[in-house]
Amino acid sequence: MRKTQIEMEAEQSPVTILERLAFLVHTQELINHYAPVFDALARAGAAFDILTHREPITITPEQRAAWGCGVIKQRRIRNLGQKYRCLVTNHFIAQRNGRLLHSLAVENIRFMYAAGKSAHNLAPWNTIYDGILCFGPYHAGAFKARYGLPTYEMGFPRFDRYFTETPDMPALYDRFGCDPAKRTIVWLPTWLELSSVGLFNDEIAALCADYNVVVKVHPLMPQSEPDRIASLRALPLTRLIETAEDNIPLYQLADFMLFDYGGPAFGAIYAGKRFILLDVPQAAADTLTGPDSSDIGLRQVFRHVGASDRGIRGVLEDDATWAAHGAACADQSARYFAPHQGTAAQHAARALIDRSWLTKGTAP
């Protein structure tokens, strides 16, 4: 790739190292993902900046005041010939060889975003990182076995307040337009070929008379798949969410949850929620998953249905399924997550402040 004039000049100039953390936030959804860690870093007095990429990022005045952070375009940092001591990202962003990330920081740490889609999540581009903040033992073992990378098992910071706050259920019903007399189903589908949107629309529409049905789409679906969004708008849903709202109120709201592939089902395991997995044909052959993907493997443990089964209602009403479900969640949570329910953000913040685990190869 041909270097720009600015990049060539920057390479010839002394680089100023900024001795604080930075987080490269390229989509709005990542603010929800990192926010509990930002809170923990602020409480610890640790300075950090938020770097934006191409998409505009909204940070409220209250958030900025609480976090005390700068918000800067990443290109400006590079143009000024500056680097951070440590940069946190959820993946390689745009350049698989790590050129962008290495131009921004001396140390690069990956902060996992989701636990599914293993062909993507465990791909060789992870070697651009100095270490991985992962959810728990399953991924820590995988990163060490494949690439010898240092790991820190943090739990799931995004879910801390699920365990530390008592939800105001009347306020949640009102916020999402739900009838308190009905039980609530929350459907969190992924996008692209692994999405259950379209395959299960009619079956889920038929549930709307008896349940509140709230759907939040993958954050990239509204821009990339307008036809799928249009198909959902045509359903008699209680609420369709197309924006980057935090998922945690939806987990608090739900009596039952529906997932296809990717990370949301693992959040339900961590939180001990009742859920059904929706199958998409040829999912194990998808380039993002593969037959050994963790979200494929969940189907050996939890109830799952195909579109031709028309089986969602039957599973929802099957008491035997739910009698065994809680123990399965506890077992799988121990496999995929460190046991830091309610304190995971503190563990993540500690790992970012004291990065000695990068050289030790294990969590401090």
Query: Residue 277 domain-assigned?
Result: yes
198 & 98 share domain: no
Query: Residue 26 domain-assigned?
Result: yes
- The label of the residue with tokens 């995988």 reads 142
Over residues 336-363, mean pLDDT: 93
Query: Residue 222 domain-assigned?
Result: yes
Query: Could you tell me the CATH number of the domain that includes residue 264?
Result: 3.40.50.2000
pLDDT (tens digit per residue) in 156-200: 999 999 999 999 999 999 999 999 999 999 999 999 999 999 999
pLDDT (tens digit per residue) in 115-166: 999 999 999 999 999 999 999 999 999 999 999 999 999 999 999 999 999 9
133 & 204 share domain: no
276 & 232 share domain: yes
Residue-averaged pLDDT of the chain: 94
149 & 58 share domain: yes
Query: Residue 2 domain-assigned?
Result: no
Residue numbers of the domain that contains 34: 12-156+340-360
pLDDT score for 14:
77
Query: Residue 1 domain-assigned?
Result: no
Residues in the chain: 364
Q: How many domains does the chain have?
A: 2
94 CB-contact burial (10 Å; exposed 0-12 / middle 13-18 / buried 19+): exposed
Query: Residue 141 domain-assigned?
Result: yes
**Crossing angle of helices 319-336/137-147, nearest 10°?**
40
List % helix, strand, coil for the chain (3-state, nearest 5): 45, 20, 40
100 & 56 share domain: yes
Distance between CA atoms of residues 99 and 280, nearest Å: 35
202 & 147 share domain: no
134 & 183 share domain: no
301 & 356 share domain: no
